[in-house]
Structure 1
Amino acid sequence: EGIEVRLNTDYLENKDELDALAEKVVYTGPIDAYFDYKLGTLEYRSVRFETETLDKSNFQGNAAVNYTDRETPWTRIIEHKWFEFGKDEEGNDLPKTVISREFSSEWKPGDEPYYPVNDEKNGALYAEYKKLAEAETSVIFGGRLGEYKYYDMDQVIAAVLDRCEEELH
């Protein structure tokens, strides 16, 4: 209640208007996009999803299974029901399940970026963007894209808590 929500709003297309609404902005998008790619484009990896509904109550017994071998064409299978909605009101298994296979894919501008490319060239370019970011005193750059850093969820939570400590004290 009392909080305005804007859907389908691109921050970068409405930056001046949105920045005027807050003393601090938390930006989690691609850092190079924030600066309009003025130093060049960082490279990312992307992900393609294939989702299917299966006529069985259980496919893999848990939410996520990662595949790291060369022979398997996907990197992960998510079975969505294990996150929250895998049972009916009486606690019985649902008769079907939905899975999504994740495939690593090359990224090009316009695609959804998921993961930073951790190599010397991109690291050097990010270091230059980080200098620009440090000069933006009213913006907090965070997350995989804002910090151009691979994070697991536990690391994201720890980084956010650390940043909150810095901001609030």
Structure 2
Amino acid sequence: MSATAIDLDDLDLFVSGDPHAAWARLRREAPLHWNAGPDGTGHGALTRYADVETIRAGDTVTLWNAPANRDPDAFAEPDRLDLGRTPDQHLAFGVAHHRCVGMGAARREIALLTEEIVRRGLRCEIPGPVRRPRSNFMPGITHLPVTVTDVW
């Protein structure tokens, strides 16, 4: 599984009775994250472990919050998808007063969709490339081909 691809093969994990499955996926595939340019370059990051330079008035500053979801001080084995991770305090929906107002609805939609796909015995596959907008903050998807087949 890749943090840059949508993996529909694990839908049974979402509805296994453990509510942490969908939230672990959101932590790994957060809606807001760092994106490189088309050639994989063009962006840099400064962590709290680096020497900090003075940011002067007028300097351009950009926040990439995805590394927070993989902070080794906050998550044991931060790059491993752990569906039972507790507490799962990811930033997929932001935090505090910067939290997504649609978080509750999004969580419910994820749960209902995955439960229904599994209940109906459907298999979803992505037969072609996923296209994303060029963005360094809101990745989104502009084209997502999906093939749905009945497995029962």
* Structure with the larger strand share: 1
Rg comparison, structure with higher value = 1
TM-score range, shorter chain: under 0.3
TM-score by length of 2: 0.24
TM-score by length of 1: 0.23
